[in-house]
A and B are shown apart, each in its own frame.
Chain A
């Protein structure tokens, strides 16, 4: 009886198997934990420590307190990169989500060839940033009168085009899953009540796909902020004016900063700020959109 009661509460462990597994810690958890320490935990802690130091190699450090952070905030390149990144991220967020939703909406309308179209839209998502960037760089630069690394506008829109091409198919998949979960009876009821197409979309469909919207806006915003490969290939931050890369995004700015030996402390401080920024965006975004979701 006792066992049944526990099971109803969704038991995830039981003394019968718990002990024996625990005894095999070295086989089950230890390898992953050790690698996790090497590949994430230790570098992360060391990174935070180093952001308060001046260093060119890890063995040669001197404590400077918040000096690196002050320098990071005073760095024109970093501040410009922040503004530019925010613009790219927000523009791409809006375009990607509106277009992906529109495509998903049309492709769930039981039209001929819908599965084929979905497959096609998804393909660019499989291509990595470097190769994808190279393809578009070749195409865009041969259409434009001057290269993207000369005109800032071209560099900006080049990034947007590349991001849309890569991510629309991905977000479309998530939106399609959301749209297919909209209860049929709600749509039917709206139809019987004589609701127009727009009203149905606004009052029935959108509130119901809110979870998908949460995921997609969250994903596209963080994707935008973390973008590196495409930025590196398309313009590598060029054109440079007064030492500031006009199309340099945050991730690229930080990575480039690490290559200058006497700037590594500042670069690490920027990386910590970048980490805080990305985490904050993720949390705020999640909270904002979660509150609008329909309670199931």
Chain B
């Protein structure tokens, strides 16, 4: 039985129509990646060559190796490595804080389920549709008043503004876990903290990954919130840094800029290649919001 099945499948994949589709998508895929490829080879060219012949591959005359990457690190009036370090710290700290606090909150909300936690839950759901412009001015002010305007404290702001989706997803998941397991833990003498960390949290793993992926992608790529909240003369993140590059008048080193774009893409590409499955799953799970 198995052999004919397999044969049928291979046959199906080898019809002329299917082959044509494969070729077609192969071409489209190459074109789809072109913008990144073009930036990549331009990051190896001299500034002048990037300016005048963007679509020409580097040749003996225009090839400068990794010079752009080395120059790019300290190019402009703010070192790129500092922006990158702040970006990494803010992303990881915010994601960790969001995962820890909202998973605990979601457990409380669904297991206690009193009026107050229901109100908090609906407020969280409501916050998901509110565009950032609605709170941008007042949020920046509040953050400044409370001295939350440094990379070390901005995770608090991210937790506050990003709580909605995370709480929503965690509550949805907790409702699907059978309560018996937690009851058993309680009967065995576990307090709420121990029950949560040794029983509930391990069960939440799939949702933790999904929410984690969504938060990492959001915080890493976010521009306006850190731009408004942080003191940008002292602290920049990668998106702020890139935006400042093109705003700076006078000498713009396009070669170095291309190198910085590649450097800012690198962590995302590594992240994607190492956990592609989780990312796609997480992103698809986030789509149910609203």
- A residues near B (Cβ < 8 Å) are 7, 10-14, 16-18, 20-25, 27-29, 31-33, 35-44, 46-47, 50, 58, 106-107, 109-114, 116-131, 134-139, 142, 165, 170, 173-174, 177, 215-216, 218-219, 222, 225-226, 228-229, 232-233, 250-251, 254-255, 258, 264, 267-268, 271-272, 274-275, 278-279, 282, 286
B156–A12 contact, CB under 8 A?
no
B284 to chain A, nearest CB (A): 5
Closest to B217 in A: A126
The answer for the CA separation of A21 and B187 in the assembled complex, in Å, is 14
The answer for the CA separation of A137 and B21 in the assembled complex, in Å, is 31
Closest to B20 in A: A111
Q: Which residues of A contact B32 (CB under 8 A)?
A: 120-121, 123-124, 165
Q: Which residues of A contact B123 (CB under 8 A)?
A: 36, 40-41
Name which of A134, A136, A250 has the most chain B CB atoms within 10 A of its CB: A134
Q: Is B182 an interface residue (CB 8 A)?
A: yes
Closest to A174 in B: B287
Specify which of B124, B242, B258 is in contact with A36 (CB 8 Å cutoff): B124
Closest to A120 in B: B29
Contact with A along B264-275 (1 / 0, CB 8 A): 110011011000
Contact with A along B16-43 (1 / 0, CB 8 A): 0011011001101100110110110000
B18–A111 contact, CB under 8 A?
yes
The answer for the CA separation of A151 and B162 in the assembled complex, in Å, is 37
Q: Which residues of A contact B148 (CB under 8 A)?
A: 38
Q: A29-B117, A131-B242 are in contact. Are A40 and B141 (CB under 8 A)?
A: no
* 10 additional contacts (CB under 8 A) given A31-B101, A36-B159, A43-B139: A12-B175, A17-B182, A31-B104, A38-B143, A39-B162, A126-B272, A130-B223, A131-B238, A271-B134, A282-B290
The answer for the CA separation of A219 and B286 in the assembled complex, in Å, is 11
The answer for the CA separation of A111 and B146 in the assembled complex, in Å, is 56
Specify which of A27, A29, A38, A125 is in contact with B120 (CB 8 Å cutoff): A29
Q: A29-B120, A109-B21, A129-B223 are in contact. Are A17 and B193 (CB under 8 A)?
A: no
Q: Which residues of A contact B279 (CB under 8 A)?
A: 126
The answer for the CA separation of A229 and B33 in the assembled complex, in Å, is 21
The answer for the CA separation of A170 and B288 in the assembled complex, in Å, is 13
- Size range of the chain B interface in the assembly: 35 or more
Q: Is B9 an interface residue (CB 8 A)?
A: yes
Q: A36-B160, A126-B279 are in contact. Are A106 and B25 (CB under 8 A)?
A: yes
Q: Which residues of B contact A174 (CB under 8 A)?
A: 284, 287
Q: Which residues of A contact B198 (CB under 8 A)?
A: none
Q: Which residues of A contact B232 (CB under 8 A)?
A: none
Q: Which residues of B contact A127 (CB under 8 A)?
A: 221, 265, 268
Specify which of B179, B239, B271, B290 is in contact with A128 (CB 8 Å cutoff): B239
Within 8 A of A (CB), among B175-197: 175, 178-180, 182-183, 186-187, 191-193, 195-196
Q: A17-B111, A17-B186, A50-B138 are in contact. Are A40 and B163 (CB under 8 A)?
A: yes
Chain B's interface: helix, strand, loop or mixed, by majority?
helix
A167 to chain B, nearest CB (A): 11
Q: Which residues of B contact A170 (CB under 8 A)?
A: 283, 287
B108–A106 contact, CB under 8 A?
no
Specify which of B18, B183, B269 is in contact with A112 (CB 8 Å cutoff): B18
Chain A-chain B contacts (Cβ-Cβ < 8 Å), number: 298
Q: Which residues of A contact B186 (CB under 8 A)?
A: 16-17, 20
A275–B134 contact, CB under 8 A?
yes
Q: Which residues of A contact B156 (CB under 8 A)?
A: 35, 38-39
Q: Is B133 an interface residue (CB 8 A)?
A: yes
The answer for the CA separation of A32 and B105 in the assembled complex, in Å, is 7
Q: A20-B186, A32-B163, A39-B161 are in contact. Are A165 and B35 (CB under 8 A)?
A: yes
Q: A17-B186, A28-B105 are in contact. Are A134 and B242 (CB under 8 A)?
A: yes
A128–B222 contact, CB under 8 A?
yes
Q: Which residues of A contact B35 (CB under 8 A)?
A: 124, 135-136, 139, 165
Closest to B163 in A: A36
The answer for the CA separation of A23 and B195 in the assembled complex, in Å, is 14
The answer for the CA separation of A29 and B39 in the assembled complex, in Å, is 46
Name which of A16, A40, A109, A165 has the most chain B CB atoms within 10 A of its CB: A40
Q: Which residues of A contact B223 (CB under 8 A)?
A: 128-130, 228-229, 232
B276–A255 contact, CB under 8 A?
no
The answer for the CA separation of A31 and B130 in the assembled complex, in Å, is 22
Specify which of A109, A119, A138, A282 is in contact with B18 (CB 8 Å cutoff): A109
Q: Is B110 an interface residue (CB 8 A)?
A: yes
6 tightest CB-CB pairs across the interface, nearest first? A39-B160, A128-B221, A32-B105, A43-B138, A28-B108, A35-B160
A selection of 23 A-B contacts at a CB cut-off of 8 Å is A12-B113, A13-B110, A29-B112, A32-B104, A32-B167, A35-B160, A36-B160, A38-B142, A39-B162, A43-B139, A46-B138, A46-B142, A50-B138, A126-B268, A129-B221, A130-B239, A134-B242, A219-B290, A226-B132, A250-B133, A275-B133, A275-B134, A279-B129
Closest to A264 in B: B137
A177–B164 contact, CB under 8 A?
no
Q: Is B95 an interface residue (CB 8 A)?
A: no
Contact with A along B231-266 (1 / 0, CB 8 A): 000000011001101100000001001100100110
